Chain A
Amino acid sequence: MTSSAWLKWLLLAAGLAVLAVMPWLVGEYPLNLIITMIIYSLFALSYNVLFGQAGLLSFGHAAYFGLGAYTSVLLFKDLGFSLLPGILGAGLAGGLLGVLLGLFVVRLGGTYFALLTLAFNALIYAGAEKWRGLTGGEDGVAAMRPDLHIPFFGDVGMFSTVHWYYFVLIVVLLSTWFCWHFTRTPLGRLNECLRENEDRARFIGYNVYMSKVAVNVISAFFAGLAGGMAGAFQEFVTVTFINLDKATDVLIMTFVGGSGTFWGPILGACFLTYLNQVLSDLTEHWTLIQGIIFVLLVMYAPQGLSGLLISLKDRFWGARAGKLSPAAKGEG
């Protein structure tokens, strides 16, 4: 193994260790913020399966997230589901909607995808708002977070923030591992090939349409899972979980973090959730600042924060190892 590969594993192990002992490091309030970051990391990761890997710009990912949130809360409230089946149900609901919408939205590429995802998100939003008997309309629905039922062991209460933290952490880590592994599967590779050259994939003989639907379903499943946990975390869900703002939030998080790397979206979700918390106490114009950061990155650093970090790393560590890129040499 090369030294940089060792460094990667070391960083990963250190990160996991910090996450594992987090409840001893911080108090109740920061822990809640960290749980929010973890949930939105998964949302952004799921978004990047489309945006970064498939090159599909979606304005409608809140449809899956919101449906997941409604599903978990309603399963807890009306059907008395325990925690894990409720959250998995949220993921499945997201995935099913991913099949249904996917059949429509991936037919025409590029700009049409952006248009259609936005329009279908508006449709799902209208559905949530109008079907008051089920969703409570703008008033929303509330349900207590149920216990986690583990076979042959018993029930683990989720009232404690620490228990809930570990539950969310484990679900998101497993999902992250899956998403990372997905990029190495044949379908994951094909997904990136579709972004780079769709015609070539078609000539080789792949069914481009069905592959895109499949990728949309995977992305929608994890968005639903994240939504399910967000609903369970708030113990309440309303139309703000499914509106256009929610859809654009995840786009901004993913882009700001950097869509070109696997961990960029996680960085973006954590960074913006944290800034949101800190800055919204200081200034009411936080969303404006977020918009300006976004536009500046679009104009000057399209690879986002992770792209900036990588170019910084290359500048300092790359130089020491004598691996100067031609561009960097030109600058020096």
Chain B
Amino acid sequence: MDTLAALPVQALHGLVYGMLLFLVASGLTLIFGMMGVLNFAHGALYMLGAYFSFSILQWTGQFWLSLLVAPLLVALAGAIIERFFLRKVHSYGHAHELLLTFGVAYIIEELVKIFWGNEPLRVVLPALLAGSIPLLGIEYPVYRLFILVVSIVVFIIMFFVLYKTRAGIIVRASVANKRMVDALGFNVPLVFLVLFGMGAWLAGLAGVIGGPYLITNPAMASTIIIDLFVVVVVGGLGSIQGALIASLLIGQLQSIGILVLPQFAIFFEFLLMALVLIFRPHGLMGESK
């Protein structure tokens, strides 16, 4: 197939990865916007989702069960990190919180290697998702479409919650002005805890659905953290719209890049990052403070 004909398929690949990336990045950027903490452990939580799902599948053989349970376990892990680790160092400042989440990520990565080994794990998909269907002139894997559907559904729910519900308004208000929300009588530490747990849940969900697609392995965390960081720099720290635009851009740059200049595909996102830094240092949607 020539390059031009492959373009729509690659664009679809890019959309799938971009949406997956957004699921992880949205939690990261909301947590940053509200708590001022760059959560280095976010990639590790995403990886935990993939591994929890692998083990649940191994024990029960139920993919749908793992899709439900594994993200909840990751949310629990996230809540534990916030409540028993992050909160203790809150008074030392943001650099310290970043160091702590880095240490936690480091430990999670080592634990994953100890419990599940260094080798990549193969996830057996249910028959419904394992095949492929004709699409855009080729046989397209159903599973990738499944990832796309799940991430779009979650995306719609998340926007609905953030913009149409009371809880969402409190979260957005806390991102904008934490002290004012505190002064109005809301329990800000509790909001932090729930938000951190929700961010972890999103990352865990992305891990569950992303694991079979991007291969469940101990380097998953450090691979995605680089893309995540590029997303938040390009989109603007703390901006959820920015995270969406940047995730989709990076998905396209990677997949179209592989088509056009396979050797240099990996450099395109960094080029984008450098350009954004030169012309819009605070990101596409970020505000300079």
Contacts and interface: CB of A to CB of B under 8 A. Distances in A.
A126 B269 CA distance: 12
A167 interface: no
A104 B107 contact: no
Interface in A269-325: 285, 287-288, 291-292, 294-295, 298-299, 302
Contacts of A111: 32, 36, 38, 94, 98, 237
A209 B273 CA distance: 20
B184 interface: no
A65 to B, nearest CB: 18
Interface stretch (A39-47, A116-124, A198-206, A217-225): A116-124
Nearest to A117: B229
Contact of B107 (A57, A116, A291): A291
Contact of A57 (B98, B226, B230, B267): B98
A163 interface: no
B99 A298 contact: yes
Interface string B107-143: 1001100100000000000000000000000000000
Interface in B207-231: 222, 225-226, 229-230
Contact of B96 (A114, A127, A287, A298): A298
A18 B102 CA distance: 37
A239 B82 CA distance: 34
A161 B88 CA distance: 47
Interface in B17-50: 32, 36, 38
Most chain A beta carbons < 10 A, residue from B88, B89, B225, B229 = B229
A57 B266 contact: no
Interface stretch (B149-157, B159-167, B195-203, B274-282): B274-282
Nearest to B107: A291
A contact residues, range: 35 or more
A21 interface: no
A186 to B, nearest CB: 25
A126 B43 CA distance: 19
Nearest to A118: B229
Nearest to B225: A118
B266 A114 contact: no
Chain B facing A: main interface SS: helix
A108 interface: yes
Contacts, number: 88
Given A291-B107, A298-B99, A298-B100, A123 B38 contact: no
Contact of A292 (B98, B107, B270, B274): B107
Contacts of A189: none
Contacts of B222: 244
A112 B237 contact: yes
Contact of A115 (B110, B232, B264): B232
Interface residues of B, number: 39
Interface string A51-77: 000010101000000000000000000
A120 B110 CA distance: 24
Contacts of A175: none
B38 A116 contact: no
Contacts of A123: 267, 270
B84 to A, nearest CB: 10
A184 to B, nearest CB: 25
A255 B233 contact: no
Nearest to A290: B106
Given A108-B281, A302-B92, A116 B110 contact: no
Contact of B106 (A112, A127, A291, A299): A291
21 contacts: A55-B95, A104-B274, A104-B277, A107-B277, A108-B282, A111-B38, A116-B233, A119-B233, A122-B226, A126-B267, A130-B264, A130-B266, A244-B222, A251-B102, A252-B106, A288-B114, A291-B103, A294-B103, A295-B103, A298-B96, A298-B99
Given A111-B32, A123-B270, A288-B107, 14 more contacts: A110-B95, A111-B38, A118-B225, A118-B226, A119-B226, A123-B267, A127-B267, A252-B106, A285-B110, A291-B103, A292-B107, A298-B99, A299-B89, A299-B100
